Amino acid sequence: MSLTPEQRAEIAAHGQETFSTRRPTVAALEAMLYDPQEVLDHGFVRVIDYMGDDAAIVQAARVSYGRGTRKVSEDAGLIRYLMRHRHSSPFEMCEIKFHVKLPIFVARQWIRHRMASVNEYSARYSILDSEFYLPDPAHMAAQSEVNRQGRGAILAPQAAAEVLDILRDDAMRTYRDYERMLDAENGYGLARELGRINLTLNTYTQWYWKIDLHNLMHFLALRIDPHAQYEIRVYAEAMLKILHAWLPVTAAAFEEYRRGAVTFSASMMAVVRRMLAGEVVEQAGSGLSRREWDEMMAILKAPAA
């Protein structure tokens, strides 16, 4: 369970509040405000605030005084042009603020995306909850033999069960020790900033994460990729659904030109041109390394030579 009944009641009360505004709003995203989209076993993503809509991107690109009288199709065409040619500054005019609950090891990956404002729950001042991420057995896999950062074959059921027991026991034991170290009456009264160092990386933390649209799309492009770690990918997928509700035209352009697009190196393009000219090209004579060749052929959906 990611939220207590008290927290859900607080969110529901927050959602009943309304404010008049002259700023553009997006009905689909307004309906999602404050509502947690549950992720993993105890995590969630929810939108706290946002600024801008699809029209705001167009307005910024044209540096106009208002929403204009051009057709929606013309605005969509401009957004697609901006996305296709990587003109990023108009997209920076939109911003969104998320409240995210996530395991610490996911947060350490996430924080690598530095173009955001972040405020994390402080275990120096508050006591962390006894909530830990435990993987579903379907996602428990051995180390990949070909990818140093990835997973390989799924563990056998017995092995998966034993690993889960280890993860659960370690997390619960360290949390009990954490509580005992902090307890001034029956423990040691240790400072919270020291007691927290004992906790496992699957302990949940929370933060507010505010980012502009350009950098959000960069985050999503990397983290919804099939090669991204599953535990951060599911957060990105939840946020992509939010993007579609917030900025449907921009989201469609993102799907077309970022998520669904590929990049070839100059050497790869030279090989493709040779192939289009009718030449039979093998890896040995392509000028590409084996890895580059395999990547190119995988994109072209052809068997590697």
Catalytic residue among 22, 148, 223, 274: 223
User: Long-range contacts: 159-162, Cβ < 8 Å, 24+?
Assistant: 161/137
Q: Is 218 part of any known ligand binding site?
A: yes
- Residue 167 assigned ligand-binding role: no
Tokens representing 76 are 């969509």
Q: Is 279 annotated as a binding residue?
A: no
Is 213 within any annotated ligand binding site?
A: yes
Rounded CA gap, 99 and 101, in Å?
7
Annotated binding residue 176: no
Strand order in the sheet with 117-120: 37-39, 43-51, 95-103, 204-212, 117-120
For the chain, the distance separating the N- and C-terminal CA atoms, rounded to the nearest angstrom, is: 50
Instruction: Give phi and psi for 211, each to the nearest 5.
Output: -150, 150
Residue 114 is labelled as binding a ligand: yes
Residue 178 labeled ligand binder? no
- Expressed in percent and rounded to 5, the helix, strand and coil fractions of the chain are 50, 15, 35
Is 124 annotated to bind a ligand? Reply is yes
Query: Is residue 120 annotated as involved in ligand binding?
Result: yes
Would residue 223 show up in a list of annotated catalytic residues for this protein?
Answer: yes
Q: What angle do CA 116, 122, 125 make, to 5 degrees?
A: 150
Q: Are 92 and 188 in contact (CB under 8 A)?
A: no
80 is in an annotated binding site: no
Residue 7 is assigned to a ligand binding site: no
| Dihedral (CA of 106, 111, 116, 122) sign | positive
290 annotated as belonging to a binding site for a ligand: no
User: Does 84 appear as a known binding residue?
Assistant: no
User: For helices 54-62 and 72-84, what crossing angle results, to 10°?
Assistant: 70
258 labelled ligand-binding: no
Whether residue 271 contacts residue 287, with contact meaning beta carbons closer than 8 Å, is answered with yes
Query: For residues 120 and 38, what is the distance between their CA atoms, to the nearest angstrom?
Result: 19
Query: Is residue 266 part of an annotated ligand binding site?
Result: no
Q: Which two tokens stand for residue 63?
A: 């540096």
- Binding site members for dUMP: 109-112, 120-124, 196, 223
Residues marked as catalytic: 223
- Binding site members for FAD: 89, 112-114, 120, 212-214, 218
- Binding site members: 89, 109-114, 120-124, 196, 212-214, 218, 223
